[in-house]
Amino acid sequence: MARRRAALLALALLLLAAVAAGLGRSLHRALTPPPAPHGPPATAARVSYPYGPPLAVVEVAGEAYERGYQQGRAVAARIRAGYGAILAHVARGVEERLHLPGWCAGPLLDFVWWRLAPYVPEWFREEMAGLAAGAGIPYRTVCRVHAIPTLTERGCASFAATRSAAGGPLIHLRNLDWAVESNIQRYCQLTVVRPARGLPFVNVGWSGFLGAVSGMNAAGLSIAEITARSAADRLAGRPMVVRLREVLQEARTLEEAVAILTRGRRTHGFNYVVASALEDAAAAVEVNAEAYARFAPGDPREAAGATGRWARTLPGVVVRASFCLDPRLRAAERAVGGDPERPGLEPPRGAGYRVRYRRQAELLAGRLGHLDVAAAEAIARAIAPASNLQSVVYRFPELYVANAAPLTRFDEQAKWAARAAAQPYRRFDLRAWFPETAAP
């Protein structure tokens, strides 16, 4: 907690120093939208609530600016409300953890985006500009919201089991544990995207969020990420939410997905679990700003390395929570009991290891050969903490999505009952939107 407070305070001071040094003009450029095409897009988004509110399904298509504008125009009220909720949550965090006025959250997020912006592709910025125009909100506000995932931590869990381990089609679980107190779950959304350039995909997120943390594309690629904070963390790099969006939009194979996750300048420590249903393949990709490591299902390197005594390796399965099994990456970690200032490797501790990793692996071990959707949902419930915001089970071409229930009380009992994995999972089939989707 003290380290986080010091880091955020340092960022705020760096922002003031940057402005004082005459870099305000550069900050202004980062927060200025790219030029818009002439006239609004002719095509409108399609919005539906197949299971009733709050889960919206928004279908968009075309070039980047068009897609953003379509979504912004179609669900403008949800975007404004959702942005207000998450920005208010960040402001409360600044007050409670840094003991600074809540308004400091805005300049802090501006600074984060300024550092990220040079590494954000132009098409993503164009989509952000279209969203801002369609929803009638400042582009700066869209930048601030998309800076939040780089600044905040998520304690998540994921596994992917290939056919040999599942006893059926490849199955992939993703639990996202983060910020249920924000009530962003009131604005949960599946964005169905048919880009003019790239692969059709479904982005599982929230209204107005263009980055990706969960989703599946028509080539059978599915994604998950888990924060694994590291001493090597930096802001200047391609944001995680942009990388995962690129996987959905560009990757046809597991190799292409891994290349996207590791290329160029990286920012923070993350564990990615990515799966390719058509190839019956999966990988855990551990990264920080300076190094990365890739593990295959049942990889013997997990048990053989210096971290092997903490690993639970299963044939045909990759399992991850918020710590790394690669010794180089673990040595730099601050997550789950890591201390880079001390010599040697600290054993992982706390719920991030005991529940999200170890218990998840033990439950998987007891179900090898019988891993279907119901089994994955049961594992998700067994490891989900009170902060469980979203849970997704991927079984291409289907995905099963659960979101936390909106909160009216904020005590632990209420949050526990509202966990995503304790709610009904909603089934979606990519073939309903993309008839050309390849058969599994």
Token pair in block for residue 430: 């990519």
- CB–CB of 390/419 below 8 Å? no
Superfamily of domain 154-184+214-432: Penicillin V Acylase; Chain A (3.60.60.10)
Residue with the larger pLDDT of the pair 223 and 233: 223
**Mean pLDDT of the chain, nearest integer:** 93
What pLDDT digit, counting tens, does each position of 23-77 carry? Answer: 667 887 888 899 888 777 778 999 999 999 999 999 999 999 999 999 999 999 9
**pLDDT score of 172:** 99
Within a 10 A sphere around the Cβ of 42, how many other Cβ atoms?
7
SS3 per-residue string spanning 115-137: HHHHHCCHHHHHHHHHHHHHHCC
Beta strands in 310-387 (DSSP E): 317-320
**pLDDT score of 184:** 97
390/420 Cα distance (integer angstroms): 5
What pLDDT digit, counting tens, does each position of 384-405 carry? Answer: 999 999 999 999 999 999 999 9
Mean pLDDT within 187-209:
98
Band (pLDDT 50/70/90 cuts) for residue 437 is: confident
- CB–CB of 430/202 below 8 Å? yes
| 369 φψ region: left (φ > 0), alpha (ψ -120 to 50), beta (else) | left
What pLDDT digit, counting tens, does each position of 228-246 carry? Answer: 999 999 999 999 999 999 9
378/373 Cα distance (integer angstroms): 9
**pLDDT score of 1:** 54
Share of the chain above pLDDT 70, in %: 94
**pLDDT score of 127:** 98
Domain boundaries along the sequence of the chain:
2-22+31-150, 154-184+214-432
404/387 Cα distance (integer angstroms): 9
The CA-atom distances, in angstroms, between 124 and each of 210, 321, 416 are 8, 29, 36
Q: Strand, helix or coil at 312?
A: coil
For the cut 90, the answer to whether the pLDDT of residue 208 exceeds it is yes
Token pair in block for residue 224: 């998950």
What pLDDT digit, counting tens, does each position of 120-158 carry? Answer: 999 999 999 999 999 999 999 999 999 999 988 778 999
Band (pLDDT 50/70/90 cuts) for residue 335 is: confident
SS3 per-residue string spanning 143-168: HHHHHHHHHCCCCCEEEEECHHHHCC
For the cut 70, the answer to whether the pLDDT of residue 16 exceeds it is no
**pLDDT score of 155:** 82
The CA-atom distances, in angstroms, between 69 and each of 65, 290, 335 are 6, 36, 38
DSSP assignments along 164-232, one per residue: HHHTSS-EEEEEEE--GGGTGGGGEEEEEEEESSS--EEEEEETT--S-SSEEETTSEEE-EEE--BTT
**pLDDT score of 4:** 60
For the cut 70, the answer to whether the pLDDT of residue 9 exceeds it is no
**275-279, 345-349, 417-421: segment of lowest average pLDDT:** 345-349
Say which amino acid occupies 101.
Answer: P
What is the distance between the terminal CA atoms of the chain, rounded to a whole angstrom? 45
**Beta-bridge partners for 284:** 273, 295
Mean pLDDT within 323-337:
93
Token pair in block for residue 431: 């073939």
User: The whole model's pTM is what?
Assistant: 0.93
**Beta-bridge partners for 286:** 271, 293
Residues 199/204/207/210 CA torsion (nearest 10 deg): -40
**pLDDT score of 438:** 72
Say which amino acid occupies 1.
Answer: M
For the cut 80, the answer to whether the pLDDT of residue 439 exceeds it is no
Band (pLDDT 50/70/90 cuts) for residue 366 is: very high
Pairing of strands 56-62, 188-195: parallel
